[in-house]
Amino acid sequence: MKPESPSNLQRVLSDGKFAVTAECGPPRGADLEIIRRKGELLRGHADAVNVTDNQTAIVRMSSIAACVHLSAMGLEPVMQMVTRDRNRIALQSDILGAYSLGIRNILCLSGDHQTFGSQPDAMNVFDIDSVNLVHMVKVMKTDGKDMSGFDLVSSPRMFIGAAANPFADPFEYRVIRLAKKIDAGADFIQTQCVYNLDRFKEWMRLAREEGLTEKVHILAGITPLKSEGMAKYMAKKVAGMDVPDSVIKRMGGVPKGKAAEKGLDICLETIAALREIKGVHGIHIMAIEWEEIVGRIVETAGLSPRPVTA
């Protein structure tokens, strides 16, 4: 990739096309084949593939390494980076390294707290927060400086993403926080999974009122449900998730063998509704360990083929 060329995701969004990104969780092991298999399942169905950074605080292959493997396959990665595990020195160093390896998109996160993971006895870092991380990448990009003010020999020109959770509390503050992330330098936003459309629409309305949708590309999160059990688990156990009872009821209202199809129906209805919301510029599909469904979702939703940008 040429040093200055923008990412495919950036081009899709700046061309005003409705973007599709998908998520790819690296394996709990050093197996390259698992990444390749997931990459093949997503090929042609997404403009960029998010690679998680030790999600749910469980040790996995590093996001940077998995991004490089996807790049080598011709897929464009979005490198997720959390502030939980690295201080500002390590974060900056890894961003420089990632850019040198051809990674052009970053999603800046604070990260799931380690108490949720398999090693709750670990110390966390949280030297900086996710808004600080966005700002840091922005300053590296536009001013060519690291956090000490040192002029970098060559600056990493990342397309900068941040997360937003319209379903967390306090609701009134969620749009202020979105504004802070945009002011700090976010180019695009990927949201928490949308099941509660009413609340999402209200959040988008407030974002539009503040003029935020003119400044940032919002990609709404989508996670297809496989079963009633999964819906209940997400509703009760997963932090920051809002799965309304009506959705759980619909998942439970069909025989077990048909639940995944029902989940797909809900997912497609949600995508159709999201496409009608002004300011939503794309979707981010997080099919957790169900990558094989992504192609079907994208095709059935009429979002295939993906635009070719050059």
Rule CB under 8 A: which residues touch other proteins? 84, 88, 110-111, 113, 115-116, 124, 126-132, 135-136, 147, 163-165, 167-170, 172-173, 176-177, 179-180, 183-184, 192, 239-240
Backbone angles phi, psi at 220, to 5 degrees: -85, 135
Least separation in angstroms between residue 201's CB and other proteins is 18
45 by DSSP, 3-state: which?
coil
Q: Which is nearer to other proteins, 62 or 132 (CB)?
A: 132
Q: Which is nearer to other proteins, 34 or 78 (CB)?
A: 78
Cα–Cα distance for residue pair 51/24, rounded to 1 Å: 5
79 bridge partner residues: 51, 106
What are the tokens at 8? 């495919």
Least separation in angstroms between residue 94's CB and other proteins is 16
Least separation in angstroms between residue 44's CB and other proteins is 31
Measured between alpha carbons, how far apart are the two ends of the chain, in Å? 12
Least separation in angstroms between residue 176's CB and other proteins is 6
Backbone angles phi, psi at 225, to 5 degrees: -90, 140
Q: Which is nearer to other proteins, 71 or 223 (CB)?
A: 223
Cα–Cα distance for residue pair 266/271, rounded to 1 Å: 9
Least separation in angstroms between residue 256's CB and other proteins is 29
Q: Which is nearer to other proteins, 181 or 217 (CB)?
A: 181
CB contact set of 268 (below 8 Å; sequence gap of 6+): 297, 300, 301
E strand or H helix at 174, and its extent? Answer: helix 171-184
Q: Which is nearer to other proteins, 150 or 292 (CB)?
A: 150
188 bridge partner residues: 161, 217
